[in-house]
Amino acid sequence: MSMWNPGDIVRVSQKTGEYIAEVVEEGDAKVLVKVLAVTKFPAQGDLHTSFEVDVPLFHQRPALSYREKFYAFSNAVMRYNGPIPDYKESVRVAMEREMEKMRKMSKWAERCLVELEALHKETFTNTK
């Protein structure tokens, strides 16, 4: 029994991004979909060494293109019932959301470093 029909609108994860897409066809374990909008912008950098910048190749990953087709595993596909945003606007919103997340993470990392340096000084300075 088929779970998806051509024309169904779905939300689907692809690598580190997430998209609103239209089902084109369903196979045995995969579903062919075409991208309509972006809900989560793909992660940048080397996925195998998270938070490392000194790697042989720091990947720059764009979002999948409008109407780009790809196969997704059936378990990564979920029904979507909301409005479908304009593709270009959805990319802008998703990218800006990811950029803000990185800015917050950067500020958090800086604050953690300040606190760790203070703890290090407290712990290892003036010890007998």
**What pTM, to 2 d.p., does this model score?**
0.86
| Mean pLDDT to the nearest integer, 102-112 | 96
| Mean pLDDT to the nearest integer, 77-99 | 98
Q: Could you tell me the residue ranges of all domains in the chain? A: 9-124
pLDDT of residue 13: 95
CATH homologous superfamily for the domain 9-124: Kinase associated protein B domain (2.30.30.430)
Least confident stretch, 47-51, 61-65, 124-128: 124-128
pLDDT in tens, 25-59: 998 899 999 999 999 999 999 888 888 889 989 99
The set of residues, in sequence order, having a beta carbon less than 8 Å from that of 81 and lying 6+ positions away, is: 9
Show the CA angle centred on residue 34, arms to residues 7 and 49, nearest 5°: 140
Separation between Cα atoms, residue 75 and residue 30, nearest integer Å:
8
Strand partners, 30: 73
The terminus-to-terminus CA distance of the chain in angstroms comes to 74
